[in-house]
Structure 1
Amino acid sequence: MDSKLIKQIYYHAQTQPYKEALIIDGQSYTYKDIVDSLQTMATTLQSNAGIEKQHIHYVNNASTTIACIETDSVYEQIILWLYSLQQGLTPIMYHRNMHEHYRAELLRLLETIHIPSNVDFGVLTSGTTGMPKPLWRSESSWIDFFDEQNKVFHIDSSTKMFLHGSFSFTGNTNMILALLWAGATIVTSDKMQPKRWLSHIENYQCSHMYLLPTKLRLLIRFGRNTIDTISYIIAGSQTVDEALITSLQTIYPKMEFILYYGASELNYITYCSGHEWLRYPNTVGKPFDSVQVDIIDESIYVTTDYGICNIELPYTVGDKGYWESGYLMFKGRSGDVVNKGGYKVGILSLENTLQNLPSIDEVAVIAVPDDIRGEEVAAFIVPKQGFTVSDIGNHIHKYVPNMEQPKYIQLLEQLPLTDCSKVDKNLLKEWYNNK
């Protein structure tokens, strides 16, 4: 494959060979190191040895050879993905700790599924509602948008960004490749240890952070000192609240918050600043220059050149919204409700309400079976320090409408996260069923 991304990385290796491309738990890899690794892998392939034999499972589809990559090491994930792309294969990254049943189903699907001829790689959905599903992309559907998104996110060759999580998370895949495209530096960790992340952010004087709000809340919990090197924090906008923005501003006093709305099927759709979000709570901002957004029957429809292959435009993922003063306001996803005997409780709306209570640090809401109403609300809550379950119950009764109050509440020290940094609601349902 004549990959523009691979050419760009080779260009950086020639023009700035000793520029740090990746710093993972203190281990530094330059752009030259990345190219050397890719060339070494091409050599070891001829000798039937090397890490690709341990971590790549090849699936022969009628249209292409799919390289299914599975490893916990972020560096190996990136190198194996780039290597597969360079070899003209179709890479797809497995989520870590993916259920064996889902892995077997996915393999059978990959053997028989029709893959469009213009596909260069696949990505997996997060799997928060079942088996992760493959989506197929051309390289240009991301590469040709990098300059626009990097301009909005203030990313250039001087950027040093901390992010965390698997390369399999579509947001991380896109952001890591966009940083390599710009010749920037990525700082990350293979560990789920927020104190270690804070140390890396401070020690390497990171200028940017890219984390979902679930992980930003962990940094707040463990942060003790202000860090004034951070200029920009980039995060998804749907699960942000005022307390989160205010707390982050205290720890990172020089930062500008950039919130975005996007979808794996589409790419980035809209963005706004933290100040704009505070002015219009629950906004997901205004569209990127090359993206058109329309509201049809309350659903958000997107027209873009940067979606998955063979997508029918305009496209909707089922999200609901409306316009207010030129800003797109997000109302949640169609069907993401608890039906309590005919009374519909919006899960996102209830989570936002609970998140803003003074006794709650983090919260996740799920629908659970109920013999009388059909469904009920269960809330899993991380309390703020010093607050008890009684305090939380009092606040819920005071501020949450009676029909929306959770029937079941469980306190946790930390919400479980998927490999994609989203709350693992499948696991929460298992916990509820096993209670």
Structure 2
Amino acid sequence: MPRPIGEHTTPWPEPDAARYVAEGYWAGVPLGHLLRAASDRAPDAPALADAATGLALTHRELAERVDATAVRLLDRGLSAGDRIVVQLANGSAFVILTLACLRAGIVPVMALPAHRRRELTHLSVLSEASAIAVPDTLNGFDHRGLAHELTENVRNATGERWQVLVDGPGADPADMDLRTLCAPGDDPVADRARLDATAPGPRDVALFLLSGGTTGSPKLIARTHDDYAYNAVLSAGAAGVGDDAVYLASLPLAHNFALACPGLLGVLLAGGRVVTLPTPEPRAAFAAIAEHGVTHAAAVPAVAARWLEHAVGAGPPAPLRVLQVGGARIPDELARRVSPVLGARLQQVFGMAEGLLCCTRLDDPDDVVCTTQGRPLSPHDEVRLVDGDDRDVPDGEPGSLLTRGPYTPRGYYRAPEQNARAFTPDGWYRSGDVCRRTPGGNLVVEGRDKDMINRGGEKISAEEVENLVYRLPAVRQVAAVAMPDPALGERVCVYVVAQPGSTVTLDEIRAHMETVGVARFTLPERLELVDELASTTVGKIDKKALRADVARRMEREHGTGAAHAPR
């Protein structure tokens, strides 16, 4: 049996929790109940459109399918508190299964379709998962086959029976077929009554989000029903999402941004409609916006740039009203083009799966919207910007961001060593972001103080890349750093000192990492072979100097800000 989640989570101190309840931040109602109540307000209003399959559901139809799926999961051996790794592309199966887990108290672990053997094994063992949900194949990759390959590893590590849920025609009798699992039920009234009677508690863990993986493999972030509902509702209010909103979910729904900022959950709680699309490719996205009357969408800067380029020839994606941009800082000059070119109001979003969310407001002056990443959503968000000695810096000066509040958990799951580094004894989370605060209270993100590479919103651990490259016998020393990229913000560059008489190529490094089974977005895209690595006066590898060096090399080769192909 997996250990109860509560054994390895860090609760909010009771005085803080009591204050959040008293002041109305925490509703004291599980997410499944809140979503059911939202569907009751307008049961015949449209709730979900799957742009890939054409499936369209009203709020009542969606709620009833969710309840039927939750009951089937329970009847097939999963129990409240069990963990299931969810690795599905954007679509109705993701939506129905995830909401069914929330309804039944089963805890989804939000994996990405890009994850492979290494990441999935780590997540499954760390969470003590009993099941995994995958597509049969996606973009030519056999996800079902990999899920079955993992069976023995997970069973040996956790002792748990491992169930595989498959979305697509590749399911066999040994799998749960998600198409059958997510079908309408025979008795919606009985399903609802059963689930209402056995609902999880509002402070129970609702789901696991993944950290950016700044120190090796991703850490698990336990989000409770109370805190995550508050997260979604606050975000919906700030984005102007009401029951007339139509939200395009084209970024991966497993990300916090697309799931609850306001994303899927915030829009459904507001009574709006969600349109799922498995890709943010401009042509497909613009077609979905036009066909479904999309009013709100979210993008990372690289996607926003592609949409802007596409709109020059195709015209603005009417009737889009609000485009949220987050995941990384959008360049100011790009931000200024969003409203004139796309015809939508830009909302910058800065936050983290660990909690704190900041955003510009829809009525902010254009200069604030285009040059800052906004201000905290909740009146009870606490934010400090500090120097290297944890002393607060004045407004206008850059400092490392510390935060705590009603939707910022106090620790990672089963990660005591990381918790000691990432959280202060009095509960402040060290985000690793370097920001400065304007006189108006908005934050401007200046960079990171952790060894992190942000590739189009996907956070890559330099340490993990280095550990894998060190497995090559020809490598004596390696340092992974971010190199600038106009489309994605950053890409991975590795500096390598080879063993005497040896050499190594970028193709060899990438092939080795692919063999290990890592997500493709972590693969280095530039290699610099050097005789020695730059170091600080105390002998540490000087990552700042290496980042500056690769930027200079790229400028000489291609001009400032030019894209650089892997070599």
| CA distance in 2 between partners of 1:302 and 1:132 (Å) | 20
Indicate the SS of the match to 2:360: strand
Evaluate the alpha carbon distance shift between residue 138 and residue 390 of structure 1 in structure 2; reply closer, same or farther with a 3 A threshold: closer
CA RMSD between the two structures: 3.8
1:12 matched to 2:38? The reply is yes
Per-residue deviation, 1:192: 5.3
Q: Does the 8 Å CA contact 2:205/2:224 hold for their aligned counterparts?
A: yes
TM-score under structure 2 normalisation?
A: 0.57
**1:24-43 matched pairs, under 5 angstroms:** 24-25=50-51, 26-43=54-71
Residue of structure 1 aligned with 2:490, choices 332, 340, 364: 364
Please name the residue that 1:163 is paired with. 249
- Can you list the C-alpha shifts for 1:19-69, whole angstroms capped at 9, x where unaligned? 111112143121112122123224544764xxxx9xxxx6x9xx9421222
The range that moved more, 79-88 or 175-184, is 79-88
Whole-Å separation in 2 of the counterparts to 1:3 and 1:155? 21
Equivalent residue of 2:240, what SS? coil
1:256–1:392 distance in 2 versus 1, CA, 3 Å: farther
Deviation at 1:195, TM superposition (A): 0.5
The secondary structure found in structure 2 opposite 1:13 is helix
The 3-state SS of whatever aligns with 1:144 is: helix
- Preserved CA contact (<8 Å) 1:271 1:286: yes
Residue of 213, 223, 226 corresponding to 1:137: 223
Aligned mates of 1:274, 1:394 — CA distance in 2: 40
Residue among 522, 533, 536 paired with 1:374: 533
Partners of 1:148 and 1:92 in 2: CA distance: 23
1:323 aligns with 2:413: no
Aligned residues: 367
Counterpart code for 2:226: S
Letter in 1 for 2:37: Y
Hey, what's the Cα distance between the residues in 2 that align with 1:166 and 1:70?
10
How far residue 329 of structure 1 moved from its aligned partner, in angstroms, is 2.5
Q: Give secondary structure in 2 for the equivalent of 1:316.
A: strand
8 Å CA contact 1:145, 1:306 repeated in 2: yes
Q: Which residue of 2 aligns with 1:124?
A: 210
Give the whole-Å Cα distance in 1 for the aligned partners of 2:32 and 2:74: 20
**Does the C-alpha gap of structure 1 residues 203 and 314 become closer, same or farther in structure 2, counting only changes over 3 Å?**
same
Is 1:154 aligned with 2:240?
Answer: yes
- Over 3 Å counting, the alpha-carbon distance change for 1:296 and 1:346 in structure 2 is farther
Q: Which residue of 1 aligns with 2:477?
A: none
- Name the counterpart of 1:313: 427
TM normalised by structure 1 equals 0.72
Give 1:109's aligned residue. Answer: 126
Is 1:293 aligned to 2:383, yes or no?
Answer: yes
In the TM superposition, residue 237 of structure 1 has moved relative to its aligned partner by: 7.3
Match of 2:110 in 1: 93
Counterpart contact for 1:157–1:182, Cα < 8 Å? yes
Asked if the contact 1:163–1:211 (Cα under 8 Å) also holds between the matched residues in 2, the reply is: no
Matched with 1:410 is 564
Whole-angstrom CA distance in 1 between matches of 2:71 and 2:122: 33
Quick one: percent identity of the two aligned structures? 16
Structure 1 portions without partners, runs of 5+: 340-344, 356-360, 381-388, 401-405, 412-431
Q: Distance in 1 between matches of 2:123 and 2:554?
A: 45
Report how far residue 251 of structure 1 moved. 3.0
SS in structure 2 at match of 1:154: coil
CA distance in 2, matches of 1:235, 1:318: 20
* 1:57-72 pair list within 5 angstroms: 64-72=81-89
In the TM superposition, what is the alpha-carbon distance from 1:140 to its structure 2 partner? 0.8
Match for residue 249 of structure 1 among 327, 339, 343: 339
Aligned to 2:356: 267
User: 2:96 is matched with which residue: 79, 86, 92?
Assistant: 79
1:304 correspondence with 2:405? yes
Amino acid in the other structure paired with 2:243:
S
Q: 1:220 to 1:90 in 2, by over 3 A?
A: same
Q: Which runs of 5+ in 2 are unaligned?
A: 1-27, 129-156, 159-202, 388-398, 412-422, 454-461, 463-479, 497-529, 535-545
Secondary structure of 2:94's counterpart equals helix
In the TM superposition, what whole-angstrom CA distance separates every residue of 1:222-271 from its partner, at most 9, and x where no partner exists?
A: 22112442221111174212332243223323x22111211111131353
Counterpart Cα distance in 2 of 1:144 and 1:192: 27
CA contact (8 A) 1:121 1:137 kept: yes
Rg larger for:
2
Q: How far does residue 276 in structure 1 lie from its aligned partner after superposition?
A: 5.2
> Aligned equivalents of 1:247 and 1:262: distance in 2?
23
CA contact (8 A) 1:257 1:274 kept: no
Check 1:275–1:217 CA distance in 2 against 1; reply closer, same or farther (3 A cut): farther
Aligned partners of 1:235 and 1:259 also within 8 Å: yes
Letter in structure 2 aligned against 1:410: H
Q: Measured at CA, do residues 80 and 126 of structure 1 come closer, stay the same or move farther in structure 2, by a change above 3 Å?
A: farther
Distance 1:46 1:181, change over 3 A: closer
Alignment of 1:345-360 (within 5 A): 347=482, 351=484, 355=486
AA partner of residue 63 (structure 2): V
* 1:188-267 equivalence runs, <5 A: 188-191=276-279, 193-223=281-311, 224-236=314-326, 238-253=328-343, 255-267=344-356
Q: Deviations over 1:301-327 (max 9, x none)?
A: 112111125575322211112223233
After TM superposition, give the deviation of residue 336 of structure 1 in Å. 4.3
CA contact (8 A) 1:37 1:79 kept: yes
Bigger Cα displacement from structure 2, 268-277 vs 157-166: 268-277
Deviation (angstroms), 1:281: 6.8
**Shift in Å at residue 179 of structure 1?**
0.8
Distance 2:73 2:40 in 1: 24
**Equivalent residue letter for 2:559:** H
How far does the alpha carbon of each residue in 1:78-98 deviate from its partner, in whole angstroms, 9 at most, with x for none? Answer: 211221222222222221131
Relative to 1, partners in 2 of residues 1:149 and 1:47: Cα closer, same or farther, differing over 3 Å? Answer: closer
- What displacement does 1:135 show? 0.9
AA matched with 2:69: M
1:69 counterpart letter in structure 2:
V
